[in-house]
């Protein structure tokens, strides 16, 4: 398995609270991504990074922000969690062709 | 914009039967195409990929897929299903041209059930 670690693996939080999910890689890949997975939607891109401090929006970026201060870490922040952000979040990394995925973080907003 | 359509959200086959999971894509650039498999409560594992070259690509666990440009299809097949193939399968197309590495657009997934 590609060296990708997501933390936490599970989290329950209350509406309106900030939440940060972490993705850590040991592969030194340039590109990192955050996706969310919801039934009937497959996976959808939230944000991605193409280098340290270089990030851009994906398809479903509203309500999310990201940061990448080191090559190996990519953080996803929900500034004020809402119930619609209950989902499974996957981090991915890629080099030139295929992407490799982490094990996911199951986030429940109550 | 790119898109992926997977026909059939649920497919059921008998053990030993042919597996056929359908994927059609739309892309304004030469596509990179992927099939991923997801087992319960796990991440996505790459089954196979098409980038350039041979249009019939072989992957892990006996799966293969054929890129047909004229049909904009990338269907996944396996000659003989095994119980362990039961999982959810995702087709994806990569926007590798406009920067950002491999930004993937996924289909909505096909849940494969294998029955005795």
Report helix, strand or coil for B22: coil
> Residue B89: closest CA among chain A residues belongs to which residue?
A42
CA B60 centroid distance within chain: 12
Instruction: Calculate the average pLDDT of chain B.
Output: 93
Low-confidence ranges of chain A (pLDDT < 70): 1-2
Over residues B57-90, the pLDDT tens digits come to 999 999 999 999 999 999 999 999 999 999 999 9
Over residues B36-55, the pLDDT tens digits come to 999 988 999 999 999 988 89
pLDDT > 60? residue B107: yes
B36 DSSP β-pair partners: B46, B90
DSSP annotation of B9 = S
Interface test with B, best of A1, A51, A58, A101 (most B CBs within 10 A): A101
Residues above pLDDT 90, as percent of chain A: 94
Three-class SS string for chain A? Answer: CCCEEEECCEEEECCCCCEEEEEEECCCCCEEEEEEEECCCEEEEEEEEEECCEEEECCCCCCEEEEEEECCEEEEEECCCCHHHCEEEEEEEECCCCEEECCCEEEEEC
Backbone phi and psi for residue A96, each to the nearest 5 degrees, phi listed first: -85, -30
Look up residue B72 and give its two tokens: 């904009």
Which residues of A fall within a CB distance of 8 Å from B104?
Answer: 33, 35, 43, 45, 92, 99
By DSSP bridging, strand B103-106 and strand B10-14 are: unpaired
Which residues of B fall within a CB distance of 8 Å from A99?
Answer: 34, 46, 101-102, 104
Question: What is the model's pLDDT at position B29?
Answer: 78
Question: What is the model's pLDDT at position A5?
Answer: 97
Look up residue A33 and give its two tokens: 């991504």
Among A30, A101, A104, select the one facing B101 at the smallest CB separation. A30
């Amino acid at each position: 398995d590609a060296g990708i670690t997501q933390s936490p693996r599970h989290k329950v939080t209350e509406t309106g609270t900030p939440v940060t999910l972490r993705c850590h890689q040991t592969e030194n890949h340039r590109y990192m991504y955050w996706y969310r997975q919801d039934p009937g939607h497959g996976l959808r891109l939230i944000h991605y990074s193409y280098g340290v401090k270089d990030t851009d929006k994906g398809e479903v970026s509203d309500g999310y922000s990201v940061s990448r201060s080191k090559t190996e870490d990519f953080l996803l922040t929900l500034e004020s969690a809402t119930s619609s952000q209950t989902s499974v979040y996957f981090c991915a990394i890629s080099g030139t062709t295929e992407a490799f995925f982490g094990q996911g973080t199951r986030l429940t907003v109550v | 914009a790119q898109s992926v359509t997977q026909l059939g959200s649920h497919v059921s086959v008998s053990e030993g039967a042919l597996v056929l999971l359908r994927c059609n894509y739309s892309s304004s650039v030469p596509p990179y195409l992927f099939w991923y498999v997801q087992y319960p409560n796990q991440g996505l594992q790459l089954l196979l990929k098409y980038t350039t070259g041979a249009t019939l690509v072989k992957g892990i666990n006996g799966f293969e897929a054929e890129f047909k440009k004229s049909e904009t299809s990338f269907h996944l097949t396996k000659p003989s299903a095994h119980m362990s193939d039961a999982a959810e399968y995702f087709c994806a197309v990569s926007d590798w041209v406009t920067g950002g590495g491999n930004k993937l657009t996924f289909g909505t997934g096909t849940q494969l059930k294998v029955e005795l």
